[in-house]
Each structure stands twice: as structure tokens, then as C-alpha cells.
Amino acid sequence: MFLDMTHGLAYVDGSYAAFRAVEHAAALSGKLGAKLSVLVVRLILVGRKSVYAAMTHEEAKALTEDIKARARAAGAPDVHVMVQDARDTSIKIIDVAIEIGAELIVVGAAGKGGFKAFILGSVSQEVARKSA
């Protein structure tokens, strides 16, 4: 049951919608006394001759500090931020949720996916589809 939640997972990609989602998840975890884990995924793109990370380690570290501050300000008593590399963000979110025993996954949706999201699906759509 939603009100019995003891652990939630929020995903952040650095967008405004993702930060708002973390703030809502933090407020909910504060009200329920639940632990909040926040996942930052460094998207890894693999080409024929090179591997490219969409976010540097330094950017990820700065993002984690910002997330912690926002989550605590929003009321999360216990927040843990993790950075993980993945080629498929939605699969990584679901895998981490299962691994940590999260009962709720919060993903911000900005609605800016456009044609690509229409054809391929956004991260939030993919998480909803794959985790059902």
C-alpha cells in the first residue's frame, strides 16, 4: 500500500521536471518517514570506435550535491544519491528499484520528447511500460 511505503526511488537527469519530481518524492518520504534513494544515470553511448558518457564524473558529483540539498530542504529525512552508468536508462531505473526494494518510482516528465519520444518513448513512459 502506498501509505506503508518504506523506500522510494527517484530518477534525476538534471532537468527542471526531474528536480520537481525529487522535491515531491522527498516531501512524500518525509511525511511517511520513508527512505529516499535518488538515481543519476550517466548514459553511455557506444560507437564503433569510441565510448562516450553523456555526463562527466565532475558533473555527476555536482548534481548529487544539488539533489541532496533539494531533497533535504523538501523534507526527506534519509536520502541516498547514487550515480550509475547505463546504456538504457529505463532498464537501469527498474534494476535499481528492484535491487533496493523500492515500493515507488518517481520520474519527472517534462513533455519535451517531441517526435523522438513519440516514436521511441520517453524515459518515464518506458519505466511505466517495463515495470508493470
Query: What does pTM read for this prediction?
Result: 0.84
Predicted pLDDT at 1: 47
Query: Which amino acid is it at 1?
Result: M
Beta strands in the chain, from DSSP E residues, in sequence order: 7-12, 35-46, 51-53, 79-86, 104-107
pLDDT in tens, 66-111: 999 999 999 998 899 999 999 999 999 999 999 999 999 998 876 5
